[in-house]
Structure 1
Amino acid sequence: MLDVIIRNSLDIVARTERLIEKAKRLIATGRLDDVEAYRIHTELERLTDLVFIMDDAARLLRRMFELRPEMAHGYTVHATLQ
């Protein structure tokens, strides 16, 4: 279960990074007015910060459970019971 969570989290990070790059290219084309470009740029900065945090968290989680696999079993049971 944790493998699925980690894999999906990293997939979301990768997809979001591609979306950020596409949006930056859209801004660079100059087809947006200044207000639209500013709003998209502001949201991209927020999204970029969030992607870094999510990427670090997923990688830390993967490392933690690789080093101590017995925690994964206990966590799955604990999460199931809640």
Structure 2
Amino acid sequence: MLDIIIRSALDIVGRAERLIEASKRLLVSEGLDEVEVYELDCEIERLGDAVFVVDEAIRSLASIVGYWPHAARTHGIHRTLH
């Protein structure tokens, strides 16, 4: 179950990164006025920060999940903990 969550979250991170790149391309186009460019630039920055945090959290979770079976065997935990 956690592997599905991790894969889905990494997919969302990838989609958000593609959205950021598309937004940056929009910034250099001629169709926006100064205020719109500034607002879009601020939103891109915020989205980039959020994507970075989520990506780090998911990768951390993935490493913990990957470590868990090894830790369970090492410490003699052979049943599901709730």
Q: TM-score, normalised by structure 2?
A: 0.83
Q: Determine helix, strand or coil for the equivalent of 1:31.
A: coil
Q: How does 1:35-74 map to 2 (within 5 A)?
A: 35-69=35-69, 70=72, 73-74=80-81
Count of residues paired in the alignment: 74
Structure number with bigger Rg: 2
Instruction: Give the letter aligned to residue 24 of structure 1.
Output: K
* Percent identical: 50
The AA in structure 2 aligned to 1:49 is D
**Distance in 1, Cα, partners of 2:4 & 2:37:** 36
Counterpart code for 2:64: M
Q: 5+ residue gaps in structure 2?
A: none
Who is 2:16 aligned against?
16
Structure 1: gaps of 5 or more residues: none
CA distance in 2, matches of 1:25, 1:56: 25
Aligned to 1:25: 25
Q: Tell me the C-alpha RMSD between the 2 structures.
A: 1.5
Cα offset for 1:7?
A: 0.5
Q: Alignment partner of 2:28: what SS? A: helix
What is the rounded CA distance, in whole Å, between the counterparts of 1:39 and 1:58 in structure 2? Answer: 28
Greater share of residues in helix: 1
The TM-score with structure 1 as length reference comes to 0.83
Q: CA deviation at 1:49?
A: 0.3
